[in-house]
Structure 1
Amino acid sequence: MNKQLHTPIEPVSLPEQDKLLVIEPLNYSNPYDYHKPHRHEYFEIILVKSGKGHQFIDFSPYAIEGGQLYAIYPGQIHLLKRDTAQGLLIQFRKDIFRYIQPLQHYHLYFKEQAFNLSPATFTHLYETAERIMLLLENKEVTLLSAHKIYSYLQIVLLSLPELQDVPVSVHRDIVVQFLSLLPKYIKTQRKVSDYCALINCSMDKLNDACKTALGKTALKLIHEELMLEIRRLLLLNALSLKEIAYELNFDSPANFSGFIKAQTGLTPSELQQVTLQIYN
C-alpha cells in the first residue's frame, strides 16, 4: 500500500484545554490545520449566520448556507471549508454534561446532523450563543455567571431534539444510548448482547427499539459503525491494512478483508482509494 496517499492525522483537542466550553467565530484562527480532515475529541455545534461554504462530516457532504446548524460528535472525521461563511462554533467536552443534567451526551446523537432552521429559531439560538460568548469573555467567571452559561447552553442543546422532531420515549432513550456507546466500544464489542449488558436491556428490547426508531436491527447498526471506523482509519492512513485489521480486533487480515467485501463489494485497498478521493 502507498503510505504517502494521505498525511496521518492526530485527534484534535479543544483549543483551550483548561476549559470545558469554548465559543469562537466561525473564521477564528485555528491551532491546527483545519484545511485538512481532522478528528474531533469534543462536541461541536456550528451556527452559520451568513455566507457559503461546504464540509464533510465523516463521509457525508454538506453545502453550507446561512441559517443552518450542524452537530458534530467526538470521533468523527471533519473537514470544513468556510469560503464566505460567517457564524459561531460552540465546542465542549463530554464532561460538561454533569453541569447540565438531566441532559446527557447521548441525547445529541441524531440521524441527521444538519439542521435547516426557521429565521426566528436560528436568531434565538444564535443570540443565546452570543450571550454565552460574552459571559465567557470575562477573565473571572463568577458562580452566578457559570450557572448562566450552563443554562444558556442547555437551552441550545435541548432545542436540537425538538428541531428534528425526535420523540422523547423509552425507545428513543435506549437507541441513543446504544448509538453513543458504539464509537467507544466498536473496536472490541461486536455482539448485540455486549451492548445490551452495557445499557441493561434485553436483546429483543434493543432490536425492537432500533427497528422502531431507525428501521434497522441492532446488529446492522453495529456493522455500519464498524465500517465507519474502518473508513476513518483508512482515511487517516497512519496504519497499514494489516495493522488496521488488528487494531479493530479481527482474527486475521483475511477476515478483515472478507467483512469489507461483504459490506461494500470492495477490497480494503479499493475502499481506501474511494475514501481518500472523497476528501481530495
Structure 2
Amino acid sequence: MNDLPLYTLESYFQAAHKPCIAFNLERLCHESPNDETLPHRHDYYQIVVLDKGSAVHRIEFDTYYMSAGTISVLFPKQFHQITFSDDAQGYVIMFCDELFCSAVLKTELSAYTISLQQRLNYICPSADDYLSICKVVLQIKELYENLSIAKKEQIKFYIKIILLQLMELGTDREPSRSETEEATIFLQFKDLVEEQFHVCRTVQNYAGQLGITTKKLNSICNQYTGETALAVIHERTLLEIKRLLVFFDYSIKEIAFDLGFDSQSALNKFIASKANCTPSELKYQLAHIYK
C-alpha cells in the first residue's frame, strides 16, 4: 500500500473535464473520477450531506455508519474510504483550505475548534438543524450552476455558514475570554506537535516554544483533552505508527528510524505501553478496518 493515493482538487477537475476552481459540488450519485471505496486521502475539505440511503464511512481508524439526515466533514490529509448504498442521495461539497475560515475567524472561534475534526467527522443533527443546513446547500447548488465572480464569493460565505452551523451543533455555550486564550495556546501546541513530533517528543521543548511553563501546558491540555501534554504528543505519534503500519506497510525498523526512536526495541515498548499489543498484533487489528 505504498502508493496510497492522495487526491487533489486540481486533478479531480482535470479528470472531470471541469474548469479548476477552489470548490466543487456534486450529487452523491455522480460518477467520480476517484475511487472513494478504497483507502485514500484528499488535499481538500469534503462535506458529505446524506439525504437518503446509508453509507459506511471509515476515517482514520473510526467507522461511522451514516443514515439519512447525517453529515460528515472530512479534513485534508485524513485517511478514509466511504461506501454508499445504492439508494443514497445527497450532496458532496469539496473546497480548498483557504475557504475554510479566515485567520481572524479561526482565532475568534479557537475555543470551539479544539476537537473540531473529531466532532465534525460525523454529525447527526436534529431534523430542523438538518433542514436548515440543506437549505444552504441548495443555495450553493443554485449559485454553482450559474457561476460568476460575485457568486463564487457568495459560495465561500455559504460554505463558512454551513461549517459554523455544524460547529455550533457541538457547542452548548459561549467560551469565555480566558478559555479562548487558552484554546489558542492549545491549538498552537497541536500545530507544533503536528510539525515536529517526528523529531521532538519532550513537553519542555514545546512549552519553551510557546513561552509558557510545562505546568501551564499540562494544565491546558488536561482542560481540553483530560490528558497531559506528553499524552497528546504520544497520541499523535501512535496515530502515525498506525498509518505507517497499515497504509504504507513500513517495517518496524523503518518506522523506528522514521519517527526517531533509539531502536526497534524502544518502538516495540512504546506500542506495547500505548496499545497493549505487539506491532504485528496492532497491524492485524487495524488492517481489518480497511480490509
For Structure 1 versus Structure 2, the TM-score category normalised by the shorter chain is: 0.7 to 0.9
In the TM superposition, what is the alpha-carbon distance from 1:145 to its structure 2 partner?
Answer: 1.8
Whether 1:219 and 2:230 are equivalent positions in the alignment is yes
Conserved 8 A contact 2:100-2:160: no
User: What secondary structure is seen at the aligned counterpart in 2 of 1:115?
Assistant: coil
TM-score (structure 1 length as normaliser) = 0.85
RMSD of equivalent CA atoms: 2.6
Whether 1:175 and 2:186 are equivalent positions in the alignment is yes
Structure 2 equivalent of residue 145 of structure 1: 151
Once structures 1 and 2 are overlaid, which stretch shifts more, 65-74 or 96-105? 96-105
Aligned length: 273
**Structure 2 letter corresponding to 1:210:** C
Structure 2 equivalent of residue 82 of structure 1: 84
In the TM superposition, what is the alpha-carbon distance from 1:74 to its structure 2 partner?
Answer: 2.0
**Structure 1 letter corresponding to 2:4:** I
> Structure 1 residues 174 and 154 mapped into 2: Cα distance closer, same or farther (>3 Å)?
same
**Given the alignment, which residue of 106, 110, 134 partners 2:142?**
134
> Structure 1 residues 198 and 71 mapped into 2: Cα distance closer, same or farther (>3 Å)?
farther
In the TM superposition, what is the alpha-carbon distance from 1:186 to its structure 2 partner?
Answer: 2.8
Conserved 8 A contact 2:198-2:260: yes
Matches within 5 A, 1:32-43: 32-43=34-45
Conserved 8 A contact 1:260-1:268: yes
Counterpart CA distance in 2 for 1:151 and 1:34 is 27
Structure 2 equivalent of residue 3 of structure 1: none
**Structure 1 letter corresponding to 2:164:** L
Structure 2 equivalent of residue 102 of structure 1: 105
Counterpart CA distance in 2 for 1:268 and 1:277 is 15
Counterpart CA distance in 2 for 1:23 and 1:172 is 33
Conserved 8 A contact 2:101-2:160: no
In the TM superposition, what is the alpha-carbon distance from 1:100 to its structure 2 partner?
Answer: 7.7
Which 5+ residue runs of structure 1 have no aligned equivalent?
1-5
Structure 1 equivalent of residue 17 of structure 2: none
Counterpart CA distance in 2 for 1:250 and 1:134 is 53
Counterpart CA distance in 2 for 1:215 and 1:98 is 27
Whether 1:31 and 2:33 are equivalent positions in the alignment is yes
In the TM superposition, what is the alpha-carbon distance from 1:234 to its structure 2 partner?
Answer: 1.2
Percent identical pairs in the alignment equals 30
Counterpart CA distance in 1 for 2:202 and 2:259 is 14
Q: Deviations over 1:104-156 (max 9, x none)?
A: 697372443321111111111122122223323335x21x2233112111111
**Given the alignment, which residue of 3, 11, 24 partners 2:6?**
11
Matches within 5 A, 1:1-280: 6=1, 8-14=3-9, 15-16=12-13, 18-83=20-85, 84-97=87-100, 101-103=104-106, 107=113, 109-112=116-119, 113-138=121-146, 141-142=148-149, 144-165=150-171, 167-168=174-175, 169-170=179-180, 171-196=182-207, 199=210, 201-280=212-291
> Structure 1 residues 183 and 33 mapped into 2: Cα distance closer, same or farther (>3 Å)?
farther
In the TM superposition, what is the alpha-carbon distance from 1:202 to its structure 2 partner?
Answer: 4.0
User: What secondary structure is seen at the aligned counterpart in 2 of 1:87?
Assistant: strand
User: What secondary structure is seen at the aligned counterpart in 2 of 1:24?
Assistant: strand
> Structure 1 residues 126 and 135 mapped into 2: Cα distance closer, same or farther (>3 Å)?
same
In the TM superposition, what is the alpha-carbon distance from 1:225 to its structure 2 partner?
Answer: 1.3
In the TM superposition, what is the alpha-carbon distance from 1:196 to its structure 2 partner?
Answer: 3.7
Conserved 8 A contact 2:55-2:66: yes
Which 5+ residue runs of structure 2 have no aligned equivalent?
15-19
> Structure 1 residues 197 and 278 mapped into 2: Cα distance closer, same or farther (>3 Å)?
same
In the TM superposition, what is the alpha-carbon distance from 1:99 to its structure 2 partner?
Answer: 5.2
Once structures 1 and 2 are overlaid, which stretch shifts more, 56-65 or 195-204? 195-204
In the TM superposition, what is the alpha-carbon distance from 1:231 to its structure 2 partner?
Answer: 0.7
In the TM superposition, what is the alpha-carbon distance from 1:85 to its structure 2 partner?
Answer: 2.6
